[in-house]
Amino acid sequence: MAWNTAETKRRLKESAVAEFAAHGLGGTTMERIARRAGINKERLYTYFGDKSQLFATVLADELNKVAAAVPLDSLDGPEAVAAYAGAVYDYHAEHPELTRLLLWEGLLDLPEVPEEDSRTDYYRTKVAAFTRAQQANLISADIPGADLAFLILALAGWWYAVPQMSRMMHADDPATPDTAREALMRAATKLATPAV
Amino acid sequence: MAWNTAETKRRLKESAVAEFAAHGLGGTTMERIARRAGINKERLYTYFGDKSQLFATVLADELNKVAAAVPLDSLDGPEAVAAYAGAVYDYHAEHPELTRLLLWEGLLDLPEVPEEDSRTDYYRTKVAAFTRAQQANLISADIPGADLAFLILALAGWWYAVPQMSRMMHADDPATPDTAREALMRAATKLATPAV
DNA sequence: GAGATTTGCAACGCAAGCGTTGGATATGCT
DNA sequence: AGCATATCCAACGCTTGCGTTGCAAATCTC
């Protein structure tokens, strides 16, 4: 069997993403990352350094993807904002590991956020799309662009951050992914619609 | 010195809340909980069982508080909804540990949510306040009450769930607690105002 | 194809942290 | 006072999991 370092690294990182997303930094063991990948534990150390370095690497690589995630060029009205919110929601549904990594990063309160610069750039383009649409009077301007963009992401992400709260609040009439998505899009539309 | 079991238990639990909130289940050690409380580790085991039982106990006790947290009797209009959102935001600011416990609980994805019944009751009263206000035509009814209530909490909580995202999105014009609160209240008002 | 280099792994040393035990000190009961 | 019981803790055993080492197999170099 031919050497294939790149593939080995890829498999280890893929496995690390899954384990860290599922159990966090503290709950994950190097042993299990290696076993899941079907590769010896020692490879992790030679390729990625110790556990916290591996975690930082995984965060850096994967969370750039989250920031870049859903494309957003221009917003021509409240409906486009709602469509964006829906797309973000769908992205979370398709990539639960990345969402969880993002939340774990928030809880860990790291002094330095990995890849902060490039991620900031990605977010900046999203915010710019909102402010541009506001200046063109296409969507409501009574909430600052950065805040509006952030709150739209809040509406889409909260379902995944505290699923147990959703369950308890919808005890009498359970939320399905569809009803949640529908509510979210209506809310996004309202936030983006100018007040009369 | 007289025996004071109750006080000892209270101090241990207080310490456990702080440690679990700061480091999560995996990142917390029983040793440190005990040391922070100035009490021997063994007490934890006789009083609360093992680590995961202690964690469950802490969650059960503290998260009931979160659910009950901000009183909400009746909502007489969109401004009242905004005031409620602001109060929830303030509560998060004053009790960051409890917010973090809530988020950790969400990430752990426990099969059974501790104290689910009583917490559900608390949430039910919040949702009821929203649906009642909707039926009385005091606030917008185009988003189902439970979803609206849930999304209001999303707006207030997201800042604490992903502070790093807030920082990156506000890179050009940093958010302060005040601007965040202001944006949140405007958003809440918009969500609660009937469409024209 | 001999030697150097790289990739891989089983087995190990060692530290951290969980949970326990044996005994000391304080309180309650008679 | 004397016996029983409850509270407390220092010290310990033992498991888990981090990070390493020594060696084998595969690939590259000349």
Average pLDDT rounded to a whole number, residues B14-38: 94
What does the pLDDT read at residue B83? 97
Instruction: Say whether the CB atom of B26 is under 7 angstroms from strand C.
Output: no
Among A72, A89, A100, A151, most B C-beta atoms within 10 A, so best to mutate, is A151
Residue found by looking up tokens 């042993």 in the block: A31
Each residue of B138-158: pLDDT tens digit?
999 999 999 999 999 999 999
For all residues of chain B together, what is the average pLDDT? 93
What does the pLDDT read at residue A2? 54
CA of A44 to C1' of C7 (A): 13
CA of B40 to C1' of D12 (A): 15
Q: What distance in Å separates residue B42's CA from the closest CA in chain A?
A: 23
DSSP codes joined into one string, chain B: ----HHHHHHHHHHHHHHHHHHHHHHH--HHHHHHHHTS-HHHHHHHH-SHHHHHHHHHHHHHHHHHH-S------SHHHHHHHHHHHHHHHHH-HHHHHHHHHHHHHT-SS-TTHHHHHHHHHHHHHHHHHHHHTTSS--SS-HHHHHHHHHHHHHHHHH-HHHHHHHTTTS---HHHHHHHHHHHHHHHHSPP-
CA gap B102, B136 in Å, rounded: 32
| Strand C nucleotides within a 7 Å radius of protein CB atoms | 6-11, 16-22, 26-27
Residues of A in contact with B164 (CB under 8 A): 105-106, 110, 113
The residue that leads in pLDDT, B109 or A96, is A96
What does the pLDDT read at residue B25? 94
| Beta-carbon separation of B107 and A103 below 8 A | yes
Instruction: Say whether the CB atom of A35 is under 7 angstroms from strand C.
Output: no
Q: Tell me, yes or no, if A145 comes closer than 8 A to chain B by beta carbon.
A: no
Q: What distance in Å separates residue A19's CA from the closest CA in chain B?
A: 13
Nearest nucleotide to A32 (CA to C1') is: D17
What does the pLDDT read at residue B28? 95
Average pLDDT rounded to a whole number, residues B168-185: 96
What does the pLDDT read at residue A4? 75
Residuewise pLDDT in 10s, chain A (196 residues): 456 788 889 999 999 999 999 999 999 999 999 999 999 999 999 999 999 999 999 998 888 888 888 999 889 999 999 999 999 999 999 999 999 999 999 998 777 787 888 999 999 999 999 999 999 999 999 999 999 999 999 999 999 999 999 999 999 999 999 999 999 999 999 999 998 7
Residue B109, pLDDT > 80, answer no
What does the pLDDT read at residue A111? 72
Instruction: Say whether the CB atom of B20 is under 7 angstroms from strand C.
Output: no
Residue found by looking up tokens 């409906």 in the block: A79
Instruction: Say whether the CB atom of A118 is under 7 angstroms from strand D.
Output: no
Task: Give residues with Cβ within 8 angstroms of B137, minimum separation 6.
Answer: B194
Among A55, A92, A127, A147, most B C-beta atoms within 10 A, so best to mutate, is A147
Residues of B in contact with A104 (CB under 8 A): 107
Instruction: Say whether the CB atom of B39 is under 7 angstroms from strand C.
Output: no
| Beta-carbon separation of B158 and A147 below 8 A | no
What does the pLDDT read at residue A1? 47
